[in-house]
Amino acid sequence: MSEKSIFENISRAPTSQRASEIEAGPKGAIGGTVSVTIDGEKMKVPLGTTILEACREMGVHIPTLCHHEDLCIAGVCRMCLVEVEGMRTLQASCAYPITAPISIRTHTAKVRRARRHIIDLMLKYHYGECYACGRNNNCELQSLAKEYGVDYFRFGHPEKPMYEIDRSSHSVVRDMNKCVLCRRCVRTCIDLQEVGVLEAIHRGEKTIISTYLNKPLGKVVCINCGQCINRCPTGALRANDPTDEVWAAIDDPSKHVIIQTAPSPRAGIGECFGLEPGTPMTYQMNTALRRCGFDKVFDTNFTADLTIIEEGSELLIRLYKALVEKDESVALPQFTSCSPGWVKYLEHFYPEMIPNLSTAKSPQQMFGAVIKTYYAKMHNIDPKNIVTVALMPCSAKKFECNRPEMCDSGFKDVDYGLTTRELGKMISEAGIDLPAMPKSDFDDPFGTATGSGVIFGATGGVMESALRTVIELVVGCKVEDLFDHADIMPVRGFDGIRYVELKIDNVGPVPSIVSHLVPNWDWLKGATLKVAVAHGTANAKKVLDDIKAGGKFSECHFIEFMACPGGCLGGGGQPIPTTPEIRAKRAEAIYAEDSACEVRKSHENPAILQIYNEFLMEGPCGHLSHKLLHTSYTARGKYIS
């Protein structure tokens, strides 16, 4: 159910950088093929194919740096230059659409010399040594230097840093000394995410990537999604790394160190150890975490299930108020709130729509609050000695756990947010070969999670989980009666925006878990539930603008938003690189884990039922739930002081 055709918004990126100008034009409009000769070999390609695409199709390697599959074309690094017969200058193959038969040479003396010069020039301005860099062995500049046999600095190399490192953000660290001005971050921020925090300033060799008035990243409208980190070819952008603090907590015998692990890192961490993307490492990782010294290893999926119950109950309350009590002050559609990048995006760019945001905390923050209250009480541990670490695919989670309101347990609910990459580093540092680890399960009492929790990692996952539960609670039938294997396919996939309608023909009795919220379901009989899914804040923007304009999304009841393209599996804390293909493979791993789960619906999770019996005794959205599991938001606006 693609919404692409409805929304042909004009991108804010400069015309020259919009991929559509080159790709959609000749390719779609005229059709047909054109012949191209690459290093003497002839082939036919669709009209408008770029030289780079043609070369890749033929298996000819062309080095690139500013080019990225997710981004519009820049043509600025000039690494991908090739010689086109009849042209005086070399052409950037990424930016050259083939519209007439041409002959290309990819490694002539001129081409080789130019590429080598470009690397030499970048190294002349790139401060730092590879062995003292977080991107050592995972750096595109380093790879190019190796590929072109760089063994000395032809034009010199900086001995001193030129720029101060910006560590002002909880999430993203910017080190302009390592920047090669490929502008992937600029394009990611403005094009992919429509946030627009980063742009080039100054000219010539003084050019740098900057924020508004060169203010610290922590002070501007950055949403912390970290998509720029995932696309940075060097170490210029990285996440704010708390591993030293985490190790210190582990090493401190007085501390009870708990790690909760989100679903996406387990689908990605294998990449840090040379495994194919999409190789699940869930149970090997549990063992590795224990060997690293964590006292308990919990599954964030438990609170993902809790989120479904709380957020779903909140939705039912909103719907009841709106439909039965005719309360016009109720904000609908309800927006999901588990993606902290999305939440901050809304706070900055659409603060007037904060009432639509579910007050339910994200699974990470729910877990922190539950551990330092329920778990601490249950195990008789002083919560001040508990250190909670959250393994997340996300850089924004670092900001989220530092939000001042996230201390409902009486302590900082989550002490540290750790990315997949950072855990990979810790595991390596501990001398552990992750893929070789024996498998082990999560710790109790939160060990049992459901498939619903797992699929939170993929775009559409929260919606699918919510629908599985809502259908069963309201309709009273099995999801499987409506969707094979309870796989709600219409909300899956990578289309930027998806829209689904679900007619409620019959209603069942109100189950006890929500019986304190509504007397019956009669008011939902015959209703059509309208839901939507959007991932990447550029797509979120389209939906929000449509809602403001009174379009079809304003009729929705519930919308899932994820800041990152692909959802959490494409998060800013996941292994680098990221491509559509890699994200699709991670999604496969996530859906496979869901499919293998014994329990696949949040409301059937026995641990969830237990916590409502033992601890949150007023039920979902009850008093204690509100105190520990719900939160409030800040209307930040776009204006920077």
Partner 1 sequence: MITSTCRNLTFETIEPWAGLKRAMELGQAGIIREVTDSGIKGRGGAGFPAGVKWNLCAAAKDPLKYIICNADEGEPGTFKDRVILTDFADLVFEGMIIAAMAIKATEGILYLRGEYTYLREGLEAQLLALRVNKKLGENACGVKGFDFNIKIRMGSGAYVCGEETALIESLEGHRGEPRNRPPYPVNTGFNGHSTAVNNVESLAWISCILSKGSKWFSQHGTEKSTGLKLFSVSGDCDKPGVYELPLGITVAELLVEVGGSNAKAVQIGGASGRCVPAIEFDRKIAYEDIPTGGSVIVFGPGRDMLDVAQNFLEFMVEESCGQCTPCRYGNPTLLEGVQMLREGRCSAGYLKELVSLGETIQIASKCGLGQSSANAFLSIVKHFKEEIMGRAIGDA
List the structure tokens of 436. 């070789």
Interface residue with partner 1, options 34, 84, 122, 533 (CB under 8 A): 122
384 catalytic per annotation: no
Q: How far is the CB of 54 from partner 1 (least distance, A)?
A: 15
Our finding on whether 203 is near partner 1 (CB under 8 A) is yes
List the structure tokens of 515. 């019986």
Task: Rank residues 35 and 89 by Cβ distance to partner 1 and give the closer one.
Answer: 89
From 31-39, 194-202, 361-369, 588-596, span contacting partner 1 (CB under 8 A): 194-202
Burial 93-111 (b: 16+ CB within 10 A, else e): bbbbbbeeebebbbeeeeb
Count of other CB atoms within 10 angstroms of residue 528: 11
Contacts of 88 (CB under 8 A, 6+ apart): none
Task: Rank residues 96 and 335 by Cβ distance to partner 1 and give the closer one.
Answer: 96
What is the C-alpha to C-alpha distance for residues 192 and 27, in angstroms, rounded to an integer? 22
List the structure tokens of 286. 């549990």
From 21-29, 327-335, 494-502, 537-545, span contacting partner 1 (CB under 8 A): 21-29
Task: Rank residues 120 and 299 by Cβ distance to partner 1 and give the closer one.
Answer: 120
DSSP-assigned beta bridge partners for residue 296: 258
Q: Find the catalytic residue in 139, 338, 401, 564.
A: 338
- Tell me which residues in 60-119 interact with partner 1 (CB under 8 A): 73, 75-79, 81, 88-90, 92, 95-97, 99, 110, 113-114, 117-118
Our finding on whether 471 is near partner 1 (CB under 8 A) is no
Q: How far is the CB of 178 from partner 1 (least distance, A)?
A: 15
Q: How far is the CB of 289 from partner 1 (least distance, A)?
A: 43
DSSP-assigned beta bridge partners for residue 335: 357, 559
Q: What is the DSSP string of 483-509?
A: SGGG--GGG-S--SEEEEEEE-----P
Our finding on whether 125 is near partner 1 (CB under 8 A) is yes
List the structure tokens of 356. 């639509």
- Of 540, 535, 602, the closest CA to residue 562 belongs to 535
Q: How far is the CB of 20 from partner 1 (least distance, A)?
A: 10
Q: How far is the CB of 27 from partner 1 (least distance, A)?
A: 13
Count of other CB atoms within 10 angstroms of residue 525: 13
Interface residue with partner 1, options 7, 19, 21, 107 (CB under 8 A): 21
On the CB side of 439, CA atoms within 13 Å amount to 6
- Look at the block and give the residue holding tokens 């909760």: 260
Q: Find the catalytic residue in 3, 53, 310, 311.
A: 311
Task: Rank residues 81 and 239 by Cβ distance to partner 1 and give the closer one.
Answer: 81
Our finding on whether 207 is near partner 1 (CB under 8 A) is yes
Our finding on whether 15 is near partner 1 (CB under 8 A) is yes
Task: Rank residues 181 and 470 by Cβ distance to partner 1 and give the closer one.
Answer: 181
Q: How far is the CB of 96 from partner 1 (least distance, A)?
A: 7
Q: How far is the CB of 111 from partner 1 (least distance, A)?
A: 9
**Residue-level length of the chain:** 641
What is the C-alpha to C-alpha distance for residues 336 and 294, in angstroms, rounded to an integer? 31
397 catalytic per annotation: yes
Our finding on whether 153 is near partner 1 (CB under 8 A) is no
Our finding on whether 25 is near partner 1 (CB under 8 A) is yes
From 200-208, 271-279, 398-406, 580-588, span contacting partner 1 (CB under 8 A): 200-208
405 catalytic per annotation: yes
**CA-to-CA dists, residue 34 to 42, 80, 96, 101, 616, angstroms:** 11, 21, 14, 6, 67
179 catalytic per annotation: no
Residue 311 is classified by DSSP as H
What is the C-alpha to C-alpha distance for residues 294 and 258, in angstroms, rounded to an integer? 6
- Look at the block and give the residue holding tokens 């086109």: 84
Q: How far is the CB of 75 from partner 1 (least distance, A)?
A: 4
Our finding on whether 47 is near partner 1 (CB under 8 A) is no
Our finding on whether 196 is near partner 1 (CB under 8 A) is no
Our finding on whether 34 is near partner 1 (CB under 8 A) is no
Interface residue with partner 1, options 23, 199, 495, 545 (CB under 8 A): 199
Q: What is the DSSP string of 215-272?
A: --GGGSS-----HHHHH-SSTTEEE---HHHHHHHHH-TT-EEEEEE-HHHHHHGGGG
Q: Find the catalytic residue in 55, 185, 228, 568.
A: 568
Binding residue count for partner 1, defined by CB under 8 A = 42
Our finding on whether 202 is near partner 1 (CB under 8 A) is yes
Evaluated on CA atoms 460, 463, 466, 471, the torsion sign reads: negative
E strand or H helix at 590: helix 580-596
Find out whether the peptide bond into 577 is cis, omega within 30 degrees of 0: yes
568 catalytic per annotation: yes
DSSP-assigned beta bridge partners for residue 166: 174
Contact predicate 265/586, CB 8 Å: no
Q: How far is the CB of 83 from partner 1 (least distance, A)?
A: 9
DSSP-assigned beta bridge partners for residue 211: none
225 catalytic per annotation: no
Q: How far is the CB of 206 from partner 1 (least distance, A)?
A: 7
Contact predicate 84/96, CB 8 Å: yes
Task: Rank residues 163 and 247 by Cβ distance to partner 1 and give the closer one.
Answer: 163
What is the C-alpha to C-alpha distance for residues 479 and 404, in angstroms, rounded to an integer? 40
Q: Find the catalytic residue in 83, 140, 271, 314.
A: 314
Interface residue with partner 1, options 27, 56, 154, 636 (CB under 8 A): 154
Q: How far is the CB of 462 from partner 1 (least distance, A)?
A: 37
Interface residue with partner 1, options 1, 4, 9, 14 (CB under 8 A): 14
Task: Rank residues 114 and 239 by Cβ distance to partner 1 and give the closer one.
Answer: 114
SS3 readout for 315-374: HHHHHHHHHCCCCCCCCCCEECCCCHHHHHHHHHHCHHHHHHECCECCHHHHHHHHHHHH
Count of other CB atoms within 10 angstroms of residue 157: 15
Task: Rank residues 14 and 519 by Cβ distance to partner 1 and give the closer one.
Answer: 14
Q: How far is the CB of 209 from partner 1 (least distance, A)?
A: 11
Q: Find the catalytic residue in 264, 337, 358, 362.
A: 358
Task: Rank residues 73 and 332 by Cβ distance to partner 1 and give the closer one.
Answer: 73
Task: Rank residues 65 and 500 by Cβ distance to partner 1 and give the closer one.
Answer: 65
Contacts of 389 (CB under 8 A, 6+ apart): 246, 249, 257, 258, 259, 260, 294, 414, 415, 416, 417, 418
Task: Rank residues 190 and 239 by Cβ distance to partner 1 and give the closer one.
Answer: 190
Task: Rank residues 109 and 404 by Cβ distance to partner 1 and give the closer one.
Answer: 109
* Inter-helix orientation angle 461-470/301-323, to 10°: 60
Interface contacts to partner 1, rule CB under 8 A: 14-16, 21-22, 25, 73, 75-79, 81, 88-90, 92, 95-97, 99, 110, 113-114, 117-118, 121-122, 124-125, 154-155, 180-181, 199-200, 202-207
Question: Which residues carry out catalysis?
Answer: 311, 314, 338, 358, 397, 400, 405, 568
